[in-house]
């Protein structure tokens, strides 16, 4: 079971890590050592704290963002209408696919409750249809893929507060 860390259990160093590493991460031979030095801590401590924050789900991911289309790939936002009594099985099935970047639950009052949303990313544009088909076969439920029509860049950086 993952350790849960409440926002009031993170200290000033954790806050500084979260605030400072939301962009501008060093691109060099030893990026974590350089980032740690800016924070006034050692590389091992930075790595340990990042892992703790990830394990506790204070951070859901730590890594670069890529323009997958510029590398020849594709991604879409996808949704499913998952019956409540089958939720755990379907989520585990969807999560088992390497093409699934992340997912989240969203409730709706609409007739078709798109309650499971996830991002599919593939190495080629044709990979999306193949991934959708495989997820549908494995889950027994239809997957609705919503391709990007227009891209907006919003560089949202959230400051951690007490």
- The closest of 82, 75, 76 to 142, measured between CA atoms, is 82
The rounded distance, in Å, linking the Cα atoms of 60 and 5 is: 13
The rounded distance, in Å, linking the Cα atoms of 109 and 116 is: 14
pLDDT digits (tens, 9 = 90+) for 111-144: 668 899 999 989 999 999 999 999 999 999 999 9
pLDDT digits (tens, 9 = 90+) for 55-79: 887 887 788 777 778 888 888 999 9
Sequence length of the chain is 162
Distance of CA 131 to the CA centre of its chain: 18
Q: What is the DSSP string of 102-116?
A: EEEE----SSS---E
Q: What is the DSSP letter of 64?
A: -
């Amino acid at each position: 079971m993952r350790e849960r860390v409440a926002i009031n259990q993170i200290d000033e160093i954790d806050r500084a890590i979260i605030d400072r590493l939301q962009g501008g991460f060093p691109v060099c031979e030893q990026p974590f050592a350089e980032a740690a030095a800016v924070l006034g801590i050692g590389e091992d401590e930075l790595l340990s704290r990042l892992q703790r924050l990830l394990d506790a789900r204070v951070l859901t991911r730590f890594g670069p963002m890529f323009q997958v289309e510029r590398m020849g790939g594709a991604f879409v936002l996808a949704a499913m209408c998952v019956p409540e009594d089958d939720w755990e099985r379907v989520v585990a099935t969807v999560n088992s696919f390497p093409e699934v970047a992340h997912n989240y639950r969203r409730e709706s009052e609409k007739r078709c409750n798109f309650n499971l949303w996830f991002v599919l990313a593939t190495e080629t544009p044709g990979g999306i249809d193949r991934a959708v088909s495989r997820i549908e076969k494995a889950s027994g439920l239809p997957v609705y893929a919503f391709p990007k029509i227009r891209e907006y860049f919003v560089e949202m950086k959230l400051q951690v507060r007490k």
